[in-house]
């Protein structure tokens, strides 16, 4: 009988923290891609929804820099079209940006460790950046959950609890304390990677670190 080596049971599964906002256009690219890419590398995703608004306010901004800086905004929308074409993702420039996403973000905070998390985030992102819909409504969030066969009314009620509201505020404060300044942001242990264009680098680092 062959005995297993200690490393057989002690190997740590690589993990990546995915910090994102459902109103963020570049987070859309990562939400739509991260599960398949992480699975290919054998990496576990830890979903970390947080609010960009308080982060921007700490910089003295009252909106997204893509709105406040006209030249940057013009570039970003062309860049999004190119990136979506590159990845084979559907894309519609939203008529309202940034869109308020408080309710869907509270649901994401509640569902972060649930098996439906990735599919839910994709649904909301598609509503925002493909269907050009208001996502911060009971109707939109209910539709997303119901399409996944989930008990929408109960999940939304739970997400609106004081506990979940506090969790989202605390997670946003944690993001700020860790030096996050935009979305998406990825952490592999203490190593930070910012932007969808660094997703593959973050996953490769996680695979090598694991």
Per-residue pLDDT averaged across 113-141, rounded?
Answer: 98
Q: How far is CA 117 from the centre of its chain?
A: 10
Count CA atoms within 13 Å of residue 39 on its CB side.
5
Q: Which CATH superfamily is domain 14-209 in?
A: Glutaredoxin (3.40.30.10)
Per-residue pLDDT averaged across 98-127, rounded?
Answer: 98
Helix H or strand E segment including 186: strand 185-188
- The answer on pLDDT for 5 being more than 80 is no
Look at residue 59 in the predicted model and tell me its pLDDT.
Answer: 87
Catalytic residue, from 3, 7, 24, 142: name it. Answer: 24
- The answer on pLDDT for 160 being more than 70 is yes
Q: Domain residues of the chain, as ranges? A: 14-209
Q: Please indicate whether residue 74 is annotated as part of the active site.
A: no
**pTM, 2 dp:** 0.92
Look at residue 7 in the predicted model and tell me its pLDDT.
Answer: 44
Per-residue pLDDT averaged across 97-119, rounded?
Answer: 97
Return the minimum-mean-pLDDT range out of 5-19, 34-48, 98-112, 168-182. Answer: 5-19
Look at residue 12 in the predicted model and tell me its pLDDT.
Answer: 72
Count CA atoms within 13 Å of residue 195 on its CB side.
7
Indicate the average pLDDT of the chain.
93
Say whether 199 sits in a helix, a strand or coil: helix
Look at residue 11 in the predicted model and tell me its pLDDT.
Answer: 58
């Amino acid at each position: 009988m062959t005995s297993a080596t200690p490393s057989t049971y002690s190997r740590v599964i690589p993990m990546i923290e995915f910090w994102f906002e459902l109103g963020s256009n570049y987070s859309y690219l990562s939400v739509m891609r991260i599960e398949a890419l992480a699975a290919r590398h054998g990496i576990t995703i830890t979903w970390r929804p947080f609010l960009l608004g308080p982060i921007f306010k700490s910089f003295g901004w009252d909106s997204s820099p893509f709105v406040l800086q006209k030249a940057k905004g013009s570039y970003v929308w062309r860049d999004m079209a190119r990136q979506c074409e590159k990845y084979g993702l559907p894309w519609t420039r939203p008529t309202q940006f940034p869109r308020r996403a408080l309710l869907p973000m509270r649901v994401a905070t509640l569902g972060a460790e649930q098996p439906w998390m990735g599919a839910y985030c994709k649904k909301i992102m598609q509503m925002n950046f493909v269907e050009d819909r208001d996502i911060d409504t009971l109707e939109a969030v209910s539709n997303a959950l119901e399409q996944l066969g989930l008990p929408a009314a109960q999940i939304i009620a739970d997400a609106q609890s004081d506990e979940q509201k506090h969790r989202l505020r605390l997670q946003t404060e944690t993001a700020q304390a860790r030096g996050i300044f935009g979305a998406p942001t990825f952490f592999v242990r203490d190593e930070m990677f910012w932007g969808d264009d660094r997703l593959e680098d973050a996953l490769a680092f996680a695979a090598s670190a694991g």
